[in-house]
Amino acid sequence: MSFARFAIVVMDRGQREGWRERFIEQLALGEVTSRGEQLARGVVTLKGEELQLQGEWIGNARFEPLEWADETLSRWVSAGARPCLGAPAGLFVWSHFMAPSGAGDLVAAIARAALGPGYRLDTHELREHVVRRQFQLTQLTSRYGFDEGSALLERKPGPYIDDAVAAIKRVLIANRIEAWAGFDPDAEGNNPLRLYPPMTIADEVVSNDRIDDVLYPLKVEICAFHARLGDALDDFWYDADA
């Protein structure tokens, strides 16, 4: 069986020291959400070189330095730091022995922990996990907004959330809208980015029942996880030796 069929670039999130520990800690969360609830579906752990999903061995894994990357992957690495992600810190290389239909939780957990692109070593294909995405501003009025919060790279205060809030406020200002919008640590559900009334447009009060009508045509673009991150993503994650 193949030992190193897949690789992913682990980004340092702007903190060079301790990136391996942060990656492993984030990986163990295996966070998947549905209808605003946190599900314990994708718990992924690394014990030595054993990769485990919900306590069951599913493959082998190891860390490699960036110099280990082949020519195709090294081109992505050589571009350096990216907004919201930090700089490439190292590679996580693994093989999982399961069909794509069973790999969704594993892939999502690894991608959320690493932030960098996934890479198939046999086909030299590269798959971005973090992209620029547009969201309607009605995402701010619901606990289920931003893919139930799972589209957001972080859901706690920090530079990423600050950038997202700044982008939202720029859209509101450009449309002469005034309302409270930002990070709400007490928001119900997994979406912490909210907008609350009262709202005005050019100093005219907008009734609460019209807020979504006003926000619906407006869009904000932020860095976010790919919309299909948790999907099987065709045969990209399929291990032919399974």
**What's the average model confidence in pLDDT over 31-36?**
44
Percent over 90 (pLDDT), the chain = 60
DSSP string, 150-194: TTSS--SSSHHHHHHHHHHHHHHHHTTEEEEEEE-TT-SSS--EE
CB 106 within 8 Å of CB 53: yes
- Which span out of 2-11, 26-35, 164-173 was modeled with the highest average pLDDT? 164-173
21-35, 155-169, 196-210, 211-225: least confident range: 21-35
224 vs 134: CA distance, rounded Å: 9
- Average pLDDT of every residue of the chain: 86
pLDDT tens profile 127-141: 999 999 999 999 999
Q: What is the pLDDT of residue 167?
A: 98
pLDDT at 242 over 60: no
Alpha helices in the chain (DSSP H): 19-29, 71-78, 100-114, 145-148, 159-174, 211-215
Q: What is the pLDDT of residue 34?
A: 38
Q: What is the pTM of this model?
A: 0.85
Nearest alpha carbon to residue 153 among 85, 87, 230, 219: 85
49 vs 158: CA distance, rounded Å: 32
pLDDT at 215 over 90: yes
149 vs 191: CA distance, rounded Å: 4
